[in-house]
Amino acid sequence: MIVMICFGFIYTQFVNIFYDIYNQLLIGMTGIADPVVPVYKNLGLNVFGAFLYLIIAVQLVLLYFQFLTRGFEMLILRLGIPFASIGLLNANQGAFKGYIQKFINNAFTVIVQLLLVQFSILLLNGGHFVLAFTASSIALKTPQMLQEFMISSGNGSTSSKVNTLTRVVTMFKSGVSKGR
């Protein structure tokens, strides 16, 4: 019942933590917290560069639709949390465990994709079309790539997992607060 009632607050904290992770990684990558935007000044493109530029633009549009899809997945997951919380009554946590794993998987996927998009745009602005194409291609494949290693082994008790997760979140929040 507590999870059902308090999930709005928990979700807000979850979003804030992952947004802080994204901002800190973006600052580490670019030196600034503002998103990088494409610069269309005199690029001096040849035919090959223009072709890659067009392909990268198409990939970025596809990524935009992937972001919309992830947003709707998160909305549906958030709305379904009362039903998944019923699984906490079972000893094996029922559907709740997979539900929370899906939340975390979606959050990490979005962070990695956004950072790769920013990196691709940085490379594109620098005239490194092949590297920008590679970064945007990997951004498109991120969900499959992360899915391979973000599957938990299922070892350990629930209390130890909660304790570990609580310590990680607390350490991260204190580190982010000091970094500001």
User: When comparing pLDDT for 126 and 88, which is higher?
Assistant: 126
pLDDT of residue 153: 44
- Long-range CB contacts (within 8 A, 24+) of 66-72: 66/113, 66/140, 66/143, 67/110, 67/113, 67/114, 70/106, 70/109, 70/110
User: When comparing pLDDT for 123 and 8, which is higher?
Assistant: 123
Q: How far is CA 73 from CA 66, 78, 79, 157, in A?
A: 10, 8, 10, 28
Q: What is the pLDDT of residues 80-102, one digit of tens each?
A: 887 777 767 666 666 777 788 88
What torsion do the CA atoms of 128, 133, 139, 145 make, to the nearest 10 degrees?
Answer: -110
Rounded Cα–Cα distance for residues 165 and 152 (Å): 13
Average pLDDT over residues 57-69: 90
pLDDT of residue 107: 85
User: When comparing pLDDT for 173 and 29, which is higher?
Assistant: 29
User: When comparing pLDDT for 84 and 40, which is higher?
Assistant: 84
Q: What percent of the chain has pLDDT over 70?
A: 72
pLDDT of residue 65: 92
